[in-house]
A and B are shown apart, each in its own frame.
Chain A
Amino acid sequence: MTDISEFRKLGRDQFEKAGLPSRKLEDWHYTDLSQSGLTQLPLAEEMRGAAQAGVIHLVNGFLQGQPELPAGVVLEGLEAAAGRMGTLLSGADRAVTALNAGLFNDALVLRVSAKVEKPVEILSETRGDVQFHGRLLIVVEAGASLTLSEIHRGSGSALANWVAEIFVAEGGELHHVKLQDEALETTHIAALGLELGKGAKYKGALLHLGSKLARQEVYALMAGEGADFSLDGGTLAVGTQHIDNTTRVIHRAPGCPSHQLFKTVLDEQAHGVFQGTLFVERPGQKTAAYQMSRALMLSDRAAMDNKPELEIYADDVKCGHGATIGDIDETALFYLKSRGIDDSTARRLLIEAFLGEVAATVENQALREGLEERLYDKLGALFGRKAA
């Protein structure tokens, strides 16, 4: 892709042909957007304001002011990204990604050229009953490292459609925390494409608390020998929230470990989805891949769909996967209550612990505590509502 206007036109054409995905597509079997009317929403108008200290502030995908960035991180123009954009996540087989390519406003393009200690924090705010298409492209150069935090929140019956492409070159490292904390009217669709070079490392923690409907796709390509991918996901969904995590980890190079643990807590009539594919190509010998989805059901009206898949073409690999769906552990509950803790508090402690393990994987203390605080707030609100 060389010309941005061509890129956009291709995206629009691709989307026009495909339309919003329906459950007829295997990948979208549990999350149907075809009747959502989301593309009828007006496109967000350009909004510009002053920068906020300490964060990269985006409103409906528009960058606010000139953010301050730590040494070793630069914000680049769209031209700099032209050669890479769309190479990890193509609109050819992803209608929602094509829609994003056709309609995105600003693209946030970051280049990381050093070991950066201070986290880079993105605050994305959704405002109004609109659709917007945000785009992120990050290049972590060889030997460089970055801690990236994303918080998505706001208000409105909006469609927030994000596409993020992240390249980590040889020996580079990315620590990534994403908190999806949108309003309960918002639809949040996000695709993360990731390419890891030789010995590169990605460590992610993903927490879904908000949205009426959210879908996070993760496409991770282990392109260089010894690349290391690790992602812990947590979902707390209540009411009629629908949260979908769909991952595809591709082991193209040999000797790469990958780890995925997704934990889901569903109450009331919430619906959770986990679809995960581990794909080991022929050269991916000595792959050590692990994938697990664990769901805790607090209501018999909640529903969870688990679809773990393995596709392996190499003959010397270790792949483990599994999925569990269950109730709160009765023995643990009895133990807590036998110490005087009431039923509601005991349940809350156990759920906090279950999802808290996702936050606990975050190495940066401030980011970890921020994640825990929001999780505990939402749990507190849920149990407060139940007690009332």
Chain B
Amino acid sequence: MSVPMLEIRGLRAEIDGKEILKGVDLVIPTGEVHAIMGPNGSGKSTLSYVLTGRDGYEVTGGEAYYKGKDLLAMSIEERACEGVFLAFQYPVEIPGVTGVNFLKTAVNAVRRHHGRPELDAMQFMKLARTKAKELGVPEDMLKRAVNTGFSGGEKKRYDALQAALLDPSLMILDETDSGLDVDALRIVAEGVDRMRGPERSMLVITHYQRILDYIVPDRVHVLVGGRIVESGDQTLARELEKTGYAQFQGKAA
């Protein structure tokens, strides 16, 4: 069997001394889309931040391997350069940094990491325009300051544009449906779904089932109390929509 895209074993993590993840086990094979569903406070966002290396989240036990490499030993930017991408629940506004400057710096950092030549301003703009057009991102968003004054839908599309430019192998979507109305959700989710491919895996973290109508997962896991308490196929997501998470609360104890 080939090396999975992501393999997590017994992962434990805490914030400010409070244990949030209490032994997470999860394997995502290459090319598959897995969903993690769970109630508020179950550790969903913590899992996404631990996998991407955010400061303040302390790993106290367990392991995580990305393409067979020790993910937890890498810096934030190394993980990104290696192909791990986090789509933020709330993308960050950065006044004063233009999109072009930010995106070009990021694209070239990843290219440099892989020993590929950097793009000059012209080459970058050509690439950015092409990708922006594919995703329906207006070109003027490239010139504006990063996420500044963008609507919820614009921010998520802008994150999707970043993914398209950085071409990651593992995409982690942290409650991408937050702050989106039904139409915006459909546009963003369809954009993400088009990025599915045999060489790319996705981890879709969500509270609600609706985003999974557009990004239909291969596997669904239920995270409650910092542990995965149930796994199944996409029918599990529909079931959860009807029954809620209460039935699992007992299992987490």
Is A377 located at the chain interface by the 8 A CB criterion? no
| Contact of A339 with B162 in the complex, beta carbons under 8 Å | yes
Is B55 located at the chain interface by the 8 A CB criterion? yes
| Contact of A331 with B166 in the complex, beta carbons under 8 Å | no
Distance in angstroms from A359 CB to nearest chain B CB is: 10
| Contact of A341 with B105 in the complex, beta carbons under 8 Å | yes
Interface digits, A5-33 against B, CB 8 Å rule (1 contact, 0 not)? Answer: 00000000000000000000000000000
Q: Compute how far the CA of A367 lies from the CA of B39 in the bound complex, rounded to whole angstroms.
A: 54
Interchain CB contact (< 8 A) of A337 among B77, B88, B145, B162: B77
Q: Compute how far the CA of A80 lies from the CA of B165 in the bound complex, rounded to whole angstroms.
A: 63
Known: A339-B106, A345-B109, A349-B105. A357 touches B95 (CB 8 A): yes
Q: Which A176-218 residues have a C-beta within 8 angstroms of B?
A: none
Q: Compute how far the CA of A300 lies from the CA of B101 in the bound complex, rounded to whole angstroms.
A: 29
Q: Compute how far the CA of A354 lies from the CA of B145 in the bound complex, rounded to whole angstroms.
A: 12
Is A123 located at the chain interface by the 8 A CB criterion? no
Is B52 located at the chain interface by the 8 A CB criterion? yes
Interface digits, A283-300 against B, CB 8 Å rule (1 contact, 0 not)? Answer: 000000000000000000
Q: Which B158-172 residues have a C-beta within 8 angstroms of A?
A: 162, 166
| Contact of A340 with B77 in the complex, beta carbons under 8 Å | yes
| Contact of A330 with B105 in the complex, beta carbons under 8 Å | no
Interface size of A by Cβ–Cβ distance < 8 Å?
23
Q: Which A339-388 residues have a C-beta within 8 angstroms of B?
A: 339-343, 345-346, 349-350, 352-354, 356-357, 360
Q: Compute how far the CA of A335 lies from the CA of B93 in the bound complex, rounded to whole angstroms.
A: 9
Interface digits, B68-101 against A, CB 8 Å rule (1 contact, 0 not)? Answer: 0000000111011100011010011011110001
Is A313 located at the chain interface by the 8 A CB criterion? no
Q: Which residue of B lies closest to A360 (CB)?
A: B96
A350: B residues at CB distance < 8 A: 94, 97
Is B129 located at the chain interface by the 8 A CB criterion? no
Q: Which residue of B lies closest to A351 (CB)?
A: B96
| Contact of B96 with A356 in the complex, beta carbons under 8 Å | yes
Interface digits, A125-163 against B, CB 8 Å rule (1 contact, 0 not)? Answer: 000000000000000000000000000000000000000
Is A336 located at the chain interface by the 8 A CB criterion? yes
| Contact of B97 with A338 in the complex, beta carbons under 8 Å | no
| Contact of B110 with A332 in the complex, beta carbons under 8 Å | no
Distance in angstroms from B154 CB to nearest chain A CB is: 16
| Contact of A332 with B109 in the complex, beta carbons under 8 Å | no
Interchain CB contact (< 8 A) of B105 among A334, A338, A345: A345
Q: Compute how far the CA of A346 lies from the CA of B106 in the bound complex, rounded to whole angstroms.
A: 10
Residue with the greatest number of chain A CB neighbours at <10 A, chosen from B91, B95, B101, B110: B95
B162: A residues at CB distance < 8 A: 339
Residue with the greatest number of chain A CB neighbours at <10 A, chosen from B55, B101, B102, B145: B102
B110: A residues at CB distance < 8 A: 340
| Contact of A337 with B80 in the complex, beta carbons under 8 Å | yes
Known: A330-B55, A341-B105. A349 touches B80 (CB 8 A): no
Interchain CB contact (< 8 A) of A338 among B52, B94, B95, B145: B52
Q: Which B94-120 residues have a C-beta within 8 angstroms of A?
A: 94-97, 101-102, 105-106, 109-110, 113
Q: Compute how far the CA of A346 lies from the CA of B55 in the bound complex, rounded to whole angstroms.
A: 15
Q: Which residue of A lies closest to B78 (CB)?
A: A340
A343: B residues at CB distance < 8 A: 75, 77
A353: B residues at CB distance < 8 A: 94-97, 145
A341: B residues at CB distance < 8 A: 77, 80, 105-106, 109
B55: A residues at CB distance < 8 A: 330, 334
Is B143 located at the chain interface by the 8 A CB criterion? no
Q: Compute how far the CA of A356 lies from the CA of B97 in the bound complex, rounded to whole angstroms.
A: 9
Q: Compute how far the CA of A354 lies from the CA of B97 in the bound complex, rounded to whole angstroms.
A: 9
A339: B residues at CB distance < 8 A: 80, 102, 106, 109, 162, 166
Interchain CB contact (< 8 A) of A335 among B53, B79, B92, B166: B92
Q: Which residue of A lies closest to B103 (CB)?
A: A339
Known: A340-B106, A349-B101. A335 touches B91 (CB 8 A): yes
B80: A residues at CB distance < 8 A: 337-341
B97: A residues at CB distance < 8 A: 349-350, 352-353
Q: Compute how far the CA of A336 lies from the CA of B91 in the bound complex, rounded to whole angstroms.
A: 11
| Contact of A349 with B76 in the complex, beta carbons under 8 Å | no
Interchain CB contact (< 8 A) of B92 among A332, A340, A352, A356: A332
B81: A residues at CB distance < 8 A: 340
Is B54 located at the chain interface by the 8 A CB criterion? yes
| Contact of A357 with B96 in the complex, beta carbons under 8 Å | yes
B94: A residues at CB distance < 8 A: 332, 335-336, 350, 353
Q: Compute how far the CA of A334 lies from the CA of B55 in the bound complex, rounded to whole angstroms.
A: 8
Q: Compute how far the CA of A68 lies from the CA of B245 in the bound complex, rounded to whole angstroms.
A: 79
B101: A residues at CB distance < 8 A: 349
A330: B residues at CB distance < 8 A: 55
9 residue pairs of the A-B complex, CB under 8 angstroms, read A338-B53, A338-B77, A339-B102, A341-B106, A341-B109, A346-B77, A353-B95, A353-B145, A354-B96
The 3 closest A-B pairs by CB, nearest first: A353-B96, A340-B80, A339-B106
